[in-house]
Amino acid sequence: MKKYRIAAILMIIHGGFMEIGGVLCMIPALMLGTDKFDIGQYFEFRLAYFQENLYLMMVMGAIYGVLRLTGAIGLLKNRMWGLVLSVINCVITVTLMMFLLPAGIMDGILAGSALILILMQYYGDKKITE
């Protein structure tokens, strides 16, 4: 159970600070106007489509953050849905981390670590073959 707790804390840090915190930082940019504050100079997506729709990507980040926090809370409450939602979030994040650099590196570290801890706790000392 201890590994689930550590994984949930990593997911809360990831979802709360990186995803939702990033969206909260977008609010002053929207208030100043996009012509005065080019947020694209701080984030570089590897795909031009993502770079052109950066504000929509920030909203998607907020959705990921809320889902990540929800999964972490379910994991802390020892619910199976929290476990499944957390694994889904971690797998998707590790898959998509290469499109956002350099922040994707931190995404990979946090989501990958949480995924490893969840799998270690779930499967424990079970062997592939007996």
Q: How many residues does the chain have?
A: 130
Domains of the chain by residue range: 2-123
pLDDT per position as a tens digit, 82-103: 999 999 999 998 998 887 777 7
Distance, CA of 94 to CA of 114 (rounded, Å): 11
Q: Which residues pair with 44 in a beta bridge?
A: 101
Distance, CA of 105 to CA of 2 (rounded, Å): 25
pLDDT per position as a tens digit, 31-58: 766 555 555 565 566 667 776 777 777 7
Q: In sequence order, which residues have a C-beta less than 8 Å from that of residue 85 and are 6 or more positions away? A: 67, 70, 71, 74
